[in-house]
Amino acid sequence: MLACAVHFYFFSPQDWNLTWHTENPDFTQCFQNTVLVCIPCIYLWVCFPVYFLYLRCHDRGYIQMSNLNKAKTALGLILWIVCWADLFYSFWERKNIFRPPFFLVMPTVLGITMLLATFLIQYERIKGVQSSGVMTIFWLISLSCATVVFRSKIKHALNTGAEVDAFRYVTFCIYFILLLVQLILCCLPERPPLFSETVNDPNPCPESSASFLSRITFWWITGLMVQGYRRPLEAKDLWSLNKEDKSEEIVPGLARNWAKEWAKTKRQPLNMLYSPKKQQKSSDSNGDVTEEAEALIIKPSQKSSEASLFKVLYKTFGPYFLMSFLFKAAHDLLMFAGPEILKLLINFVNNKAAPNWQGYFYTGLLFFCACLQTLILHQYFHICFVTGMRLKTAIVGVIYRKALVITNSARKTSTVGEIVNLMSVDAQRFMDLATYINMIWSAPLQVILALYLLWQNLGPSVLAGVAVMILLVPINAVMAMKTKTYQVAQMKSKDNRIKLMNEILNGIKVLKLYAWELAFREKVLEIRQKELKVLKKSAYLAAMATFTWVCAPFLVALSTFAVYVTIDKNNILDAQKAFVSLALFNILRFPLNMLPVVISSIVEASVSLKRLRVFLSHEELDPDSIIRAEGCIVVKNATFSWSKNDPPSLNCINFTVPEGSLVAVVGQVGCGKSSLLSALLGEMEKKEGYVVVKGSVAYVPQQAWVQNATLEDNILFGREKNESRYKRVIEACALLPDIEILPTGDKTEIGEKGVNLSGGQKQRVSLARAVYCNADVYLCDDPLSAVDAHVGKHIFEKVIGPKGILKNKTRVLVTHAINYLPQMDTILVMSDGEISEMGSYQELLKQDGAFAEFLRTYANAEQSMENSDTNSPSGKEGKPTENGVLVNEAPGKLMQRQLSNSSTYSRDAGKSQHRSSTAELQKPLAEKNSWKLTEADTAKTGRVKATVYWDYMKAIGLFISFLSIFLFMCNHIASLTSNYWLSLWTDDPVINGTQQYTNVRLGVYGALGISQGIAVFGYSMVVSIGGIFASRHLHLNLLHSVLRSPMSFFERTPSGNLVNRFSKEIDTIDSTIPPIIKMFMGSTFNVIGACIIILLATPIAAVIIPPLGLVYLFVQRFYVATSRQLKRLESVSRSPVYSHFNETLLGVSVIRAFEEQKRFIKQNDMKVDENQKAYYPSIVANRWLAVRLEYVGNCIVLFAALFAVIARNKLSAGLVGLSVSYSLQITAYLNWLVRMSSELETNIVAVERVKEYAEMEKEAEWSIEQTAPASTWPEEGKIEFRGYGLRYREDLDLVLKNINVTINGGEKIGIVGRTGAGKSSLTLGLFRINEAAEGEIIIDGINIAKIGLHDLRFKITIIPQDPILFSGSLRMNLDPFDQHSDEDVWRSLELAHLKTFVSSLPDKLNHECAEGGENLSVGQRQLVCLARALLRKSKILVLDEATAAVDLETDKLIQSTIKSQFEECTVLTIAHRLNTIMDYTRVLVLDRGEVVECGSPDHLLQEKGIFYSMAKDSGLV
């Protein structure tokens, strides 16, 4: 009965007359009572099972009953009662009148549905849903259906003489009003659930508590936008992340899935070989850096068994991401609504008889579809971006966790630079891919749908267009592949360039002292040149790609129309065919353009995926290689190597250390002492044998690792603070005097790598950290080498020795200091990786072996160790610091630190940034505790200035800039003209079933298209080449100015910032800015063009376009203020992630030894979350903006269609088609334009940041033609200080004052003085690292302040305190300018006692030094520095007590070499060990920056002054 009623009413012809062909449309009674009632019911019942399951799985906590909830529930029940009132009324009525059955069925169904709705309202409350989309949509659909019925009822009632069913009218009115109220209530969000995190969060993200409407329109972020518009945002304004976006939620999930996947493949044997290049290396090689691609060679047969990282990522993020599929599919279908409605509109304009309301109906429908499309699209994007963000968080977290456990051999294959690149570049690739990946299925879907509709429109002619497209696909594919190979090449150059830059920044002090900047600048530029070559090739490709992109749609349209009109005279190109086809072609354009981008993006991501997989598959340290058990330390028949394939570094090691004993390990430089400790820590690969270490371990590395944190945090190292213990430790480690002079005591922030501590202080902090942690076993790697002798003595007595704090612990001490050996329980003597002798001091003397011989040789040297220089704990001196300079003692003033023992490299990766400190520049701040050392990467505020764009244009070249703009104009004028020509063509009258002039029309159309193509190719080439000019120019300036910056600049700039400039910012300028400029210009002209066309067709639109334009501009400006600042905050919070990561990699052995991995992982997670906190609002802000702007675009569509409908009698169909098809595109263009303009603005910041460093203060000129001294200068080597004074900064006191000394050529001068007396400052003045404040220094009659820095520094040689090498050949390290012959180089090596070592290397002089010279021992590095000095052989040699890290034999060799080789030269030695200068001609004694004593050593000893007291301390008198 029901079906027949519906069928009869719905399809009878008179119904159409009632509903469609009429001036006043309406639905039939039957349709209203059945279909319109069913729609909401069907919707809710279909959603219910899925939604119910979703709620069961996602429980967010329980929401308490609120008035809002009570009201919603009550209304739901009343609605049910109203529906069933109708039902009972129908039963009652049946007695009198017969009604069709739907009068009973429909109220029943509706009533049950209302009950279901009420149930859902309560169920949502229990599950913690604050605002429900499902319910909002349900009430909206119900209300829309009811509105139609309501209008019909009113119309019926107004109709005179119609009978009115009073009861049903009343119930319906109540029903309608209740629905309206329900909808309004449904838009209000509930209170947050109990026990949810937002309650105790100080600044929760408003998203979770926002209503459904606010969520789909992204209204909830408006508060932040307003705030950002009023004043620049700061970090404290940002919301906390949602729980599901935090690292602690995301990373473990990925890690678990990867571990499972990895375990699966682990079961099959995997043949991993580190590339063979390495096996020839010396056994201590710990830094051969090869490109990741060479890292793993896997036998082809095992190809199948690689762990699939993609599968793991999919498992982790797939479920949430799947939602985006649905949204994307819905959006794709809606896209085709536009052209279909356009078809109907054109028909409507052509059909003069059609009633007006149909036009308005189409217009409304067009607007509705557009708006719905907008909302769906941005939900889709939001999901994609959030997935991308989570991906990045997860990847960074996993890489960090992995970096803490990989073996040393694996460390060699991935340099720190590469690992940081994995975190920045590769993780970014995944983020980009997340937004594109759906195009893989969506693009083909769109193409198929479009082709289907085109076929319907134009028939088989479409095939011509399809053929063109198919031809273009392989071309695009080839380009994508090519681009990909270039990309790999560019990445490789980039990795190398960043690695080199890192080293330059690490060793900048050495470069300045040796005047080597130019040699290294050339090295960088050489790599850069390769990089630019590849970039240029990519640019040509990009130009080709853009050409095919822009011309593809046009060529397709041209070929299709040409075939269509030529195959049959009767085929008429009318407006409907032409413009609907054009609209479809425009839709086609996007997927076709996107496919190559997506493919290349996937290819990039797959490269990244591989790099990541290789890194995550690296071997991990075997935690079980060392058994943690009873028996203290036992090693039986153990053999160790640094990696599986290296020859063993330690052979047949056997020894036992009883609990609580003190063991010394002694031996020559490079004999494996440090390796032995690494082996006990489990850092080496155990080939065979058995190792037991009992209990917890504390480790003091040879080169102290200090974190960028307060001194106190460095010592506590994450443990609880116990005041009395802390005090005892500090006192024992002789840190009290140092703490006194630090600006804020132990709360002072220590710079990156400890730049504001001297070497000795760092070593003592490192020791204090170990002592404080109260472990069972102490492994100390020569902790006494960097400290002065009496401090060493104090530390030995108070800490390490038999009476020290650690007297009951087990201690293994590597040392060069002989004088402590008698107090040891056992001594291990090592040579060439084996233990040659072992026993107590007495036993070894009795054995009369190598050790006894060694002791006899140095018995006389023993007292020399107990030596000079201050810091004596007995308190003879006011305020010592080690090699530090105390600038003023006035309380409250800031102290200035000057270091000679500036900063050191650590064993594992000298990669990270290391700056030695010459003068710390702090801002004099009022409060003491705000003393900060390093300047954080600051965020600029406000708009990017126009000058930045101007700078960029100048960098490109003004001619090229204006040429590109001109070509853009040509392209767009051609494009507009061709479409206007098409509209004239479609309006040609049809005579006898054909159009005249078809060929002329077609010819002109084609010609316009070709000219458009030429212009496109032109501007694309010009912009790309211009971009390369700009990036070459900007990089050169940046490099030059960074190298020309004074030392003080490097001290206060964390190297992370500098590396960031060279990697991230230069990368942006290279490869991001040019394409963005192209797209920005393109969209600008597109929007202008569309507006012009709409104005041509309907001039009345002039009333509406300007106000919409203003709204658009306002929204855009409003948005940019916030977005730009968020982007800046994001990039500023990115630096700490990398800095912390770098720091971790440097100290990874310490972190592992102390078992602090968990804490560091947590810190890393926090830093990543801080970064994402700024990123999340910025992606939401993008969506917010896009939704607002697309609404502006949708309004333009609305008005273009509306005015066309209003003026339908005056307009031709061709113009209507043209105007509406352009307006349909305008939304996309507007969206794109804003994205591009904000992208341009955020990316151009890179230029601003690069310029900012390019305009820093510079040091003096490198060489000055006019005053350049003769090439033989200095002939005599006579140095005069005349009234010389030096200060570190304008507002500080003098560090050296009133120095008047004449040093004659060939004199040997020792410079001594208590710590902080200004010894090192004197050498810095001599090299003009700091310029004189008063007075002058004259060398051989030339005032050094008047000549260029290089002229000066080339002529003086220094052997610095820290031996720094650069990665490259050994030869390059000795002679970077290639000025000397090989014979000279070998001779210098021979004199430096390195000849035998170098000859034994397979590559001899071309032996590759690792980053920071990691693969040579510290002592060998020191000898290389000596060889450098011998090679330069200048008249003046400065020795900064360079023998701290060398054993006594080597020390003696160095001293004798200097005596014999530099006999004629003037030698200045800053002495820590007085015995080295006892035979010098004269000694200068400095105190508080003044020369207090000067004369021969014997003479000064008789005077009984300061020198005498120092000599007495050292036991020389």
Average pLDDT, integer, range 511-520: 84
Q: How confident is the model at residue 296 (pLDDT cuts 50, 70, 90)?
A: very low
Please give the residue that has the higher pLDDT: either 65 or 898. Answer: 65
Q: What pLDDT is attached to residue 883?
A: 34
pLDDT band at 893 (very low <50, low <70, confident <90, very high): very low
Note the pLDDT of residue 300: 41
Q: What is the pLDDT of residues 674-724, one digit of tens each?
A: 888 888 888 888 888 888 888 888 898 888 888 888 888 888 888 888 888
Confidence band (pLDDT; 50, 70, 90) for 904?
Answer: very low
pLDDT at 979: 85
pLDDT tens-digit profile of 464-487?
888 887 787 788 778 878 887 888
pTM of this structure? 0.75
| CA–CA separation, 1211 and 1099 (whole Å) | 11
- SS3 string, 1292-1361, reads CCCCEEEEEEEECCCCEEEEEECCCCCHHHHHHHHCCCCCEEEEEEEECCEEHHHCCHHHHHCCEEEECC
Selection from 249, 211, 210, 226 nearest residue 386 by Cα: 249
Q: Is pLDDT of 152 > 80?
A: yes
Question: Quick check: 140 pLDDT over 90?
Answer: yes
Q: What is the mean pLDDT of residues 1261-1276?
A: 79
What's the CA gap between 82 and 172, in Å, rounded?
8
**CA distances from residue 697 to 63, 722, 779, 784, 1144 in whole angstroms, order as listed:** 50, 20, 7, 19, 19
Question: What is the pLDDT at residue 1063?
Answer: 80
What are 440-459's pLDDT values in tens digits?
Answer: 889 889 988 988 988 888 88
pLDDT (mean) for 1006-1011 = 88
244/393 Cα distance (integer angstroms): 11
pLDDT of residue 88 exceeding 50: yes
pLDDT of residue 1000: 87
| Predicted local distance difference test score (pLDDT) of residue 897 | 36
* pLDDT tens-digit series, residues 1323-1362: 888 888 888 888 888 888 888 888 888 888 888 888 877 7
Task: Read off the pLDDT of residues 559-608 as tens digits, 9 standing for 90 and up.
Answer: 888 888 888 877 788 888 888 888 888 788 778 777 777 877 888 788 88
Residue 242 has pLDDT above 60, yes or no: yes
**pLDDT above 60 (res 557):** yes
Contact 1420, 1389 (CB under 8 A): no
Predicted confidence at residue 554, as pLDDT, reads 81
Quick one: pLDDT at residue 276? 42
- pLDDT at 376 (0 to 100): 93
Q: Among the listed ranges 788-802, 1409-1423, 1492-1506, which one has the minimum average pLDDT value?
A: 1409-1423
Read off the amino acid at residue 847: Q
Confidence label for 73 from pLDDT (cuts 50, 70 and 90): very high
Quick check: helix, strand or coil at residue 711?
helix
For residue 363, what pLDDT is reported?
Answer: 93
8-state DSSP, 290? -
Instruction: Give CA–CA dist 208/205, Å, rounded.
Output: 7
- Mind listing the pLDDT tens digit for each residue in 1295-1314? 888 888 888 888 888 888 77
Q: Does position 877 have pLDDT exceeding 60, yes or no?
A: no
528-546: average pLDDT = 86
pLDDT tens digits, 164-198 = 778 888 888 999 999 999 999 988 888 877 766 55
Range 778-789 average pLDDT = 81
Q: Is pLDDT of 1482 > 50?
A: yes
pLDDT above 60 for 1: no
Predicted confidence band at 742 (pLDDT cuts at 50, 70, 90)? confident
Q: How far apart are CA 1356 and CA 1306, in angstroms?
A: 13
CA–CA separation, 1142 and 1148 (whole Å): 10
Which residues does residue 1337 pair with via DSSP β-bridges, in sequence order?
A: 1281
- 468: closest CA among 542, 557, 544, 550? 557
- Nearest Cα neighbor of 345 from 1053, 1374, 1507, 1221 is 1221
pLDDT recorded at residue 917 = 32
> In which residue are the tokens 């008179």 written?
14
Tabulate helix, strand, coil % of the chain (nearest 5): 65, 10, 30
Element at 667 (helix H, strand E): strand 662-667
Which tokens is 1327 given? Answer: 């090299």
Lowest mean pLDDT among 59-63, 571-575, 937-941, 1336-1340: 937-941
Decide if 976 contacts 1092 (C-beta within 8 A).
yes
Predicted confidence (pLDDT) per residue in 1150-1187, tens digit = 898 888 889 999 999 999 999 999 899 988 988 888 88
SS3 652: strand
Query: To the nearest whole percent, how much of the chain has pLDDT over 70?
Result: 89
Specify the range with the lowest mean pLDDT, choosing from 266-275, 784-793, 887-896, 1213-1222.
Answer: 887-896
Orientation of helix 427-436 relative to helix 575-616, angle to 10°? 150
| 647 closest CA partner among 286, 275, 283, 287 | 283
> What is the CA 386 to chain-centroid distance, rounded?
17
DSSP H stretches of helix in 859-929: 862-865
Measured distance CA(1326)–CA(1330) in Å, rounded: 9
Give residue 62's pLDDT band: very low, low, confident or very high (50, 70, 90): confident
Q: Comparing 52 with 1364, which gets the higher pLDDT?
A: 52
CA angle (242, 247, 248) in 5-degree steps: 95
pLDDT on residue 286: 39
Tell me 412's DSSP state: H
For the chain, give the mean pLDDT.
Answer: 80
Nearest residue to 190 (alpha-carbon basis) of 65, 17, 77: 65
Residue that is written with structure tokens 């909302």 in the block: 375
DSSP assignment of 21-82 equals SSSS----HHHHHTHHHHHHHHHHHHHHHHHHHHHHH-----PPP-HHHHHHHHHHHHHHHH
Predicted local confidence at residue 597, as pLDDT: 74
In whole angstroms, give the CA distance from residue 1080 to residue 1233. Answer: 6
Please report which confidence band the pLDDT of residue 379 belongs to, taking 50, 70 and 90 as the band edges.
very high
Q: Output the six-digit token pair for 994.
A: 């054909």
How are beta strands 1436-1440 and 662-667 bridged, if at all? Answer: unpaired
pLDDT for the residue numbered 198? 56
3-state secondary structure of 803: coil
Please count the other Cβ atoms lying within 10 Å of the Cβ belonging to residue 594. 18
Structure-token match 């982007």, residue found: 1127
**Model pLDDT for residues 1010-1053, shown as the tens digit of each residue:** 888 888 888 888 888 888 888 888 888 888 888 888 887 887 77
**What count of residues does the chain have?**
1517
pLDDT, residue 925, reads 32
Using CA atoms, how far apart are residues 864 and 575, in angstroms rounded to an integer? Answer: 102
Tell me the C-alpha distance between 239 and 1159, whole Å: 24
The predicted-structure confidence for 1177-1225, as pLDDT tens digits, reads as follows 988 988 888 888 888 888 888 988 888 888 888 878 888 888 888 888 8
Angle, CA 460 vertex, CA 457 and CA 463 arms, to 5°: 105
pLDDT at 543 over 70: yes
Pairwise CA distance, residues 15 & 8, whole Å: 10
